[in-house]
Structure 1
């Protein structure tokens, strides 16, 4: 059996890697993307995309998709010129959850 102190240590160990811990909204965004997008895109912090032309979501970068109106574009119906990609439309809460998840997993270039 683990005592109260053991649970505290376990909880701290599980949450000490803040860069990998997702809050509830981000977890919901990840689940939505896994359901809708993972047949083509790598939606996590690692892995390759199943579709060769689909970039991993962690590589989008702040200036590519996260302008001020990205959540609005998700709500209006996101589509691209890529012929294989369907159009997706999210409600406001889901769009914000997706954007917050995507922001959380972006790989930042290492400083030189």
Structure 2
């Protein structure tokens, strides 16, 4: 009986761990993106973007985030033709932290 209770507590503890546990670099990236981007974009793993034309960051997908040039584009100055979006320029550690956070929150196709 004691073993079952102990096992149950262990399983409960595992189930309570957040599904998006972030490492320290990803936490820095999240904080950076929240301070710069959350006025328009949904920065977290859930929720709608405040600006209707701003996609939630969790939907950026593999094509944009795993492009090796994305972190470099953040460093050289990210801009867009969208009239409401300001230009941003990140240093290398900021760009890497932002990209690693974005990779951590991407919605994945779970069908297999």
**What TM-score, normalized by structure 1, do the two folds share?**
0.83
Q: Match for residue 62 of structure 1?
A: 62
SS for the counterpart of 2:104 is helix
User: Structure 2 matches for 1:8-23, cutoff 5 A?
Assistant: 13=13, 17=17, 19-23=19-23
Q: Match for residue 79 of structure 1?
A: 79
- The Cα of 1:14 is off from its aligned counterpart by 7.4
Q: In the alignment, is residue 94 of structure 1 matched against residue 94 of structure 2?
A: yes
Q: Match for residue 6 of structure 1?
A: none
- The Cα of 1:26 is off from its aligned counterpart by 0.1
RMSD (Å), alpha carbons: 2.2
Q: In the alignment, is residue 106 of structure 1 matched against residue 106 of structure 2?
A: yes
Distance across 1 between alignment mates of 2:15 and 2:66: 26
Larger radius of gyration: 2
- The Cα of 1:109 is off from its aligned counterpart by 1.5
CA contact (8 A) 1:39 1:50 kept: yes
- The Cα of 1:16 is off from its aligned counterpart by 6.5
Note the residue ranges of structure 1 that are not aligned, 5 or more in a row.
Answer: 1-8
**What TM-score, normalized by structure 2, do the two folds share?**
0.83
Note the residue ranges of structure 2 that are not aligned, 5 or more in a row.
Answer: 1-8
Runs of 4+ in 1 over 2 A off after TM superposition: 12-19
